[in-house]
Every structure is written in C-alpha cells, then in structure tokens.
Structure 1
Amino acid sequence: MSPAKPQSPSFKGNKSCLPSKPCAVCGRDMSWRKAWANNWEQVKYCSEACRKRAKPGAA
C-alpha cells in the first residue's frame, strides 16, 4: 500500500468551502468537482438528465 498523499495545509477536508452554482434547468446547487476543474465556467447542468431536458437553443 502506498503512503497517503500529503494534503495542502489550507485544505482541512471542509467541502463547504468549495464553490457552487445553480443548475440552469432545475436550480439545484452544484458543488465544484475535481473533474470540472478545467471547465467550471462552462458547466451548466447538474446531471445528464438536466442536460437532455434543456431546450436546444438555450445552451
């Protein structure tokens, strides 16, 4: 087993400090995810279902 990765001294595991924004379709708050790190500004939908429900011309 490999040793644990050292955490940043400023991050204490408190995910409430991460940015969030509302889904464009349902309004549910979306929390920042590491997978969205490179394109957080372009993320509009909380799920694939909301993306499919979005009007074609609204994106």
Structure 2
Amino acid sequence: MNNEDDYTGESGPYADWIVCLCSFAVIAGLFGVLSWLVWTYAPNFPASESAVFVDGESDW
C-alpha cells in the first residue's frame, strides 16, 4: 500500500528519477573503479602477454 501511495503520489516520478540516477551512478561508479583497476593493473596483462610472445619469439 505504501509503495502504491508513493508511486501515485507527486513524489513518485521524482523518486523514480532518483532511483534511476542512483542506480546509474552506482553502475557508473563500479564501471569507473573497474576501468581504473584495468588501466592501473591490467596493462600488465596485455603488456606481459605481448612481451612474453615477443620475448619468446626474439629469444627463440
């Protein structure tokens, strides 16, 4: 009943926008953290893999 009152009330659309913005902010924050971790730690992955292949080819 309270949820129906909230949705039918004037604060319904604003609450929906707030929920959407909060969810988007959380997703964007998580994506930003993951991208930061990827850019800080993952460059070792492609760099190490390519370096391993390049070093392997150059060594052999």
TM-score normalised by length of structure 1: 0.20
Structure holding more strand per residue = 1
Q: Of Structure 1 and Structure 2, which has the larger fraction of its residues in helix? A: 2
- TM-score, length-normalised on structure 2? 0.20
- Larger Rg over CA atoms: 2
